[in-house]
Amino acid sequence: MSIDTKSINPQMLILARQTRGLKQHELADLLDVSQGLISKAEKGLSKLNEGIVRKLSVLLNYPVSFFYDQSALYPFGFYLYRKYSSMPKGQLEAIVANLKINLMHIHKFFTMLEFDKEQILHLNVEENTPEECAYLIREKYKLPPGPVKSVTSFIERFGIIVFPVNTRNRMFAGLTVPLEDENYVVFVNKNMPHDRLRFTLAHELGHIILHNNKKVFSDRYDDEANLFASAFLMPEYDIEEDLKDLDIDKLALLKLYWNVSMASLLVRSRQLGFITESKYVSLYKYMSKLGYRSEEPVDCVVPEENPEFLEDIIATFQNDLSYDITNFCNLLCCTENYFRNTYLNLSFNMKILAENRNYFSHSNSKVNSSAVKNVLEN
C-alpha cells in the first residue's frame, strides 16, 4: 500500500506538534486549514491528504514516514506530571513528546538486538531505610570506599540506558521509564552541572531499586530517592570526618573530591547530625546570598559519567548490521540532522577546571586533605 492511500498515525501528529511547541490552532494557521481538521485528525476521525502531510513534514521538520509510523507509545504516568507540576504545560508537553519519540527509537533497538546484563537488586523500603538500602547496594556490588567513580557506569551495568536530554529547561532534571523485561531508560538533562547530574542519576537509581513494584504514586517517593542518593554518594562511614567543622571553602574542596554539590554536602552533614541547625541555616543563607543555589563557584568534572551503553548499541548496528546514517534514519523515521544531534552526540556537556583553580587561588581555606589536593593537582 502506498503512503498516499494510508492514514497517518494520529499519535505521531500530536507528538510532532507538541515537540515544536504548537497548539492546534497555531498548526492549523501554518497549514492554512481549520483547527477542526487538525483536531479530528489527531483523534483519528479525519484523514489528511498527501499534500497536507508533505506540508506538515516541511513545517515541523519530520520526514513524511514519521507520520505513518505505527509504533506503540509508552504511556507516561501520573507521577511524571505530579513531579513536574510547576512546569508550564507547553514546556512539559514538548519535553514529554520528545521523550516518547526517544522511547520509540529505543524500543526498536531492543527488538533487533539482545544484550547481556547483570540483574539489579530491588529492595523493600518498608523493611530497610533508604540509607540502609544504599549501603546494601554498595556492599552487594562491591563498590570501593569513598566517592562513586561513575554513577552512569554503575547504572549501565544492569542494561539500563542513560539517555542525555538536550534541554535548556532547568526545571527538568531527570526521569526513569520502565520498559519490558526489567529494562529501564533514565533520561537526564545533559546541561546540568555535573554535581547535580550525578545526584540526579543516583536519585533515579533509587527509584528503580526502591519503587519498582509501586503502582500508586506517593509523595514520599522523591524524599526516599533523595535519601538513597545521599547515602549512595556520601556513605556515613566514609564521609563522617569530612563533614565536621564545615565552612564555605571546605565545602568547595570537598565537592571536588566527592563530586557532589556543596549544597548536598551541607544537607548530608545535617542529616547525619554533624552540624548544628543554626550553623546549617547560617551557611545555607550565606550560600544563597552568594548566588550558589543557582550556580556554585566550582564544578566537578567527571569524564567517566559519559554514557556508553547507547553508544555501544549504535556501534553494534554499524559494525554488525552494517547500518549507515540512511539506514538509521529509515528505521527511526527521523532526519539525518536529528539522528546526528541525538545519537552521535551523547556525551554530557563538560567544563574545564580553570575556574576551579582560580577560585582556590583566592581561597582562605585551611583544608589540607591530600585526597582533595590531588583533585586539583591531577
SS3 269: helix
CA distance 47 to 8: 7
238 and 134 in one domain?
A: yes
70 contacts 42 by C-beta, under 8 angstroms: no
Last residue of a domain, which of 38, 70, 102?
Answer: 70
Partners of 175 in beta bridges? 187
228 and 185 in one domain?
A: yes
Segment 264-312, tens digit of pLDDT: 999 999 999 999 999 999 999 999 999 988 888 877 665 568 899 999 9
185 and 135 in one domain?
A: yes
The gap from C-alpha 268 to its chain's centroid, in whole angstroms, comes to 23
φ, ψ of residue 290 to 5 degrees: the values are -80, -5
Segment 257-266, tens digit of pLDDT: 999 999 999 9
271 and 144 in one domain?
A: yes
143 and 6 in one domain?
A: no
Return the CA Rg of the chain.
Answer: 23
Partners of 174 in beta bridges? 188
Asked if residue 115 is part of any domain, the answer here is no
Residue 2: count of CB within 10 angstroms of its CB:
6
The gap from C-alpha 134 to its chain's centroid, in whole angstroms, comes to 20
- Looking at the chain, the number of H-run helices and the number of E-run strands are 20, 3
Whole-number pLDDT of residue 352? 40
Whole-number pLDDT of residue 77? 66
CA distance 92 to 210: 26
Whole-number pLDDT of residue 11? 96
CA distance 36 to 23: 12
Beta strand segments in the chain, E: 161-165, 174-178, 184-189
Contacts of residue 287, Cβ cutoff 8 Å, sequence gap at least 6: 248, 262, 263, 266, 293
Q: Tell me the residue range of the domain where 43 lies.
A: 1-70
Asked if residue 77 is part of any domain, the answer here is no
Whole-number pLDDT of residue 375? 43
CA distance 112 to 55: 32
Asked if residue 99 is part of any domain, the answer here is no
CATH assignment at residue 35: 1.10.260.40
φ, ψ of residue 117 to 5 degrees: the values are -150, 155
Q: H-type helices in 113-244, by residue range? A: 130-140, 151-156, 194-210, 220-233, 236-239
CA distance 107 to 165: 17
Partners of 134 in beta bridges? none
Asked if residue 113 is part of any domain, the answer here is no
Asked if residue 298 is part of any domain, the answer here is yes
Whole-number pLDDT of residue 368? 39
DSSP 183: -
Nearest CA-CA partner of 377 in 357, 355, 350: 357
Structural domain total, the chain: 3
Asked if residue 317 is part of any domain, the answer here is yes
Write the single-letter amino acid at 222: D
Whole-number pLDDT of residue 305? 84
Last residue of a domain, which of 70, 91, 118?
Answer: 70
Residue 355: count of CB within 10 angstroms of its CB:
12
Contacts of residue 114, Cβ cutoff 8 Å, sequence gap at least 6: none
313 and 294 in one domain?
A: no
256 and 189 in one domain?
A: yes
Asked if residue 247 is part of any domain, the answer here is yes
Taken in order 18, 20, 23, 26, is the CA torsion positive or negative? negative
Asked if residue 355 is part of any domain, the answer here is yes
SS3 174: strand
> 532526519: which residue's cell?
335
261 and 313 in one domain?
A: no
Taken in order 179, 91, 331, 338, is the CA torsion positive or negative? negative
294 and 366 in one domain?
A: yes
Whole-number pLDDT of residue 107? 93
46 and 135 in one domain?
A: no
Whole-number pLDDT of residue 214? 67
Grid coordinates of 268: 548530608
294 and 216 in one domain?
A: yes
Low-confidence ranges of the chain (pLDDT < 50): 1-2, 4-5, 350-358, 360-378
> 586533605: which residue's cell?
369
Nearest CA-CA partner of 131 in 26, 54, 61, 206: 206
361 and 221 in one domain?
A: yes
Is the pTM higher than 0.95?
no
> 583533585: which residue's cell?
375
As to burial, measured by CB atoms within 10 angstroms (0-12 exposed, 13-18 middle, 19+ buried), residue 92 is buried
Residue 321: count of CB within 10 angstroms of its CB:
11
